[in-house]
């Protein structure tokens, strides 16, 4: 068990000393996760609200499709994205392969159905009498919309947290689309897998500690927002 304790000590030393490879993976992860979550939330929240709020033909089938997309393996998404952005693919001319942009595209596809499906389910679970009550009180469309969103704010936060969790911990997309290039497209999860396989246990622990710290900060932020 000594190698575990030694690994933790070396991990802290790597983080404090500013090891270039370790911090490069951390920064790459923060960049792609921030971009993918921005696009996922920007598109997923409105789509989820519309699906959950309105009744229309084919809604049941659309919800089934969204629920299916929730369980898509990351390696499959990576394969599809790779096929599109490879030099022989329809988007090959843009040069997204083996770049952080390519990883962000794949992670956006991963997170979008999570945000959309959970938001839709949250809206559907909203009190059915709320809208009628607001109309009776003479509320306008804008006030009705804002009140409904406020009532389901915790569900929307949960959608964002769950999507962020999937994005931060995925490996398949980053490995296949990014190529795990050191100082370029290597992320925390791909670095952990690589360094552990190489026997560099301390490096893996250092990056694992960062993942835990990020998760703690996210949950702390959500707890703070819930108190507002």
- Give the model's pLDDT for residue 224: 74
For 100, phi then psi, to 5°, come to -65, -30
CATH entry 1.10.1840.10 includes domain 23-187: no
- DSSP line for 56-119: -TTHHHHHHHHHHHTT--HHHHHHHHHHHHSTTSTTGGG--TTSHHHHHHHHHHHHHHHHHHHH
- Give the model's pLDDT for residue 216: 85
| pLDDT of 125 strictly over 90 | no
pTM exceeds 0.85:
yes
- Give the model's pLDDT for residue 106: 95
- Give the model's pLDDT for residue 225: 65
Give the mean pLDDT of the chain: 86
What's the token pair of residue 14? 């790597």
**104 pLDDT tier (thresholds 50, 70, 90):** very high
**138 pLDDT tier (thresholds 50, 70, 90):** confident
Burial-class residue 194 by CB neighbours within 10 Å (0-12, 13-18, 19+). Answer: middle
Compute the distance between CA of residue 13 and CA of residue 34 in angstroms, rounded to an integer. 27
Q: What is the pLDDT of residues 146-185, one digit of tens each?
A: 777 788 888 888 888 889 988 988 999 999 999 999 899 9
- Give the model's pLDDT for residue 16: 86
Q: What is the pLDDT of residues 2-21, one digit of tens each?
A: 667 777 787 788 788 888 88
**55 pLDDT tier (thresholds 50, 70, 90):** confident
């Amino acid at each position: 068990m000594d190698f575990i304790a030694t690994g933790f000590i070396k991990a802290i030393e790597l983080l404090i000393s500013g090891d270039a490879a370790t911090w490069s993976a951390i920064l790459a992860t923060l960049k792609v996760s921030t971009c993918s979550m921005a696009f996922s939330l920007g598109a997923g929240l409105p789509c989820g609200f519309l699906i959950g709020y309105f009744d229309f033909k084919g809604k049941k089938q659309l919800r089934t499709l969204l629920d299916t997309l929730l369980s898509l393996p990351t390696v499959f998404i990576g394969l599809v994205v790779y096929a599109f952005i490879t030099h022989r693919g329809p988007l090959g001319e843009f040069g997204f392969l083996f770049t952080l942009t390519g990883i962000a595209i794949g992670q956006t596809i991963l997170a979008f159905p999570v945000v959309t499906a959970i938001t839709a389910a949250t809206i559907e679970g909203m009190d059915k009498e709320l809208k009628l009550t607001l109309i009776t009180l003479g509320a306008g469309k804008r006030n009705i919309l804002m009140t409904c969103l406020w009532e389901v704010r915790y569900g929307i936060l949960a959608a964002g947290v769950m999507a962020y969790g999937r994005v931060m911990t995925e490996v398949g997309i980053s490995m296949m689309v990014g190529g795990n290039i050191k100082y370029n497209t290597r992320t925390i999860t791909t670095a952990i897998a690589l360094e552990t396989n190489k026997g560099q246990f301390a490096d893996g622990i250092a990056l694992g500690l960062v993942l835990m710290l990020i998760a703690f900060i996210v949950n702390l932020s959500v707890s703070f927002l819930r108190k507002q």
